[in-house]
Amino acid sequence: MVAMLHVALACVAQQPEQRPSMADVVRMIESVPMDQSPMPEEDRDVSVTSPSIGITTDDGDGRLSY
């Protein structure tokens, strides 16, 4: 997982010329070993949901309402 985070951080470098090409990104991802599980087998059946957030700005007063 840490290796994937390094790839992600390289892709969002502040200077575009410092970012890897897509071919380099593919090579980096392919070189990451996938045989290691990030969590034990018994914990894999846990269901995860993500919250959603709605934002509207059409109140007429220019303020955000949630």
Residues 35, 20: Cα–Cα separation, whole Å: 25
Domain that includes residue 20, residue range: 1-31
pLDDT band at 44 (very low <50, low <70, confident <90, very high): low
Q: Is residue 3 part of a domain?
A: yes
Q: What is the DSSP letter of 20?
A: P
What is the rounded average pLDDT of the residues 29-39? 77
Q: Is residue 65 helix, strand or coil?
A: strand
Is 63 within the bounds of a domain? no
The verdict on residue 15 lying in a domain is: yes
Alpha carbon separation from 46 to 1, 38, 54 (Å, rounded): 18, 13, 26
Distance between CA 48 and CA 30 in Å, rounded?
A: 26
Question: Does residue 13 fall inside a structural domain?
Answer: yes
End-to-end CA distance of the chain: give it in Å, rounded: 34
pLDDT band at 47 (very low <50, low <70, confident <90, very high): low
Structural domain contains residue 42: no
Number of domains in the chain: 1
